[in-house]
Amino acid sequence: KTAAQIVEIMKVMEPRHPVVMATRVSAEKSVEIRAALPQATYFEMARICAIQPPAPLQVRPGKLSILTAGTADLPVAEEAAVTAELCGFQVTRLWDVGVAGIHRLLSNRHVIDQSDVLIVAAGMEGALPSVVAGLADCPVIAVPTSVGYGASFNGLAPLLTMLNSCATGIG
């Protein structure tokens, strides 16, 4: 969508919804959107432009944690984190805890144990959601990213790994 189209959509939605957001917004488009809608906020890493209520939403129950295998997965993970926060959830972030440095994941086992839902973003071979699901007793939402080198095939390899996981509780 163009910036003008996003502005028009947000103007129509704002009176009807407490939070209005547009995802995958470039920094350039955000400048145009915020010029027309000064109440909008741009979350650069997440690439989200949002209009929020003046008072924060009531905090929703439950503990949501978002994990990334590597730092290259951050934009996708931040998109999920900011979306959840805009909807009233408290989010714990664990970045760069992939299987290449499994000690970083295991040293944060308490976060996994205390979570009600885990969102796990990974590129490359996409193994992290399976490892996390093997440790967790809550739902794990596996999110493949298109980052990686070698045979990741722009995200196809992690997607197939996640679809073929033998760990229970992965969606």
Spatial CB neighbours of 28, under 8 Å, sequence gap ≥ 6: none
| Residue keyed to tokens 């760069």 | 96
- The SS3 call for residue 24 is coil
- 141, β-bridge pairs: 119
d(CA 170, CA 163): 9
Q: H/E element holding 30? A: helix 27-36
- The SS3 call for residue 16 is coil
- Pull the structure tokens for residue 109: 């086992």
Give the residue among 108, 86, 88 at the shortest CA–CA distance from 22.
86
pLDDT at 168 over 90: no
Residue-range domains of the chain with CATH: 1-49 (no CATH), 62-162 (3.40.50.1970)
The pLDDT of residue 150 is 67
Cβ(142)–Cβ(120) below 8 Å: yes
Question: Which runs of E-coded beta strand occur in the chain?
Answer: 20-22, 40-43, 48-51, 64-68, 91-94, 117-122, 140-144
Q: Specify the pTM.
A: 0.88
The pLDDT of residue 47 is 96
The chain-wide mean pLDDT, for the chain, equals: 90
* Rounded average pLDDT over 3-27: 95
pLDDT at 132 over 80: yes
pLDDT at 7 over 90: yes
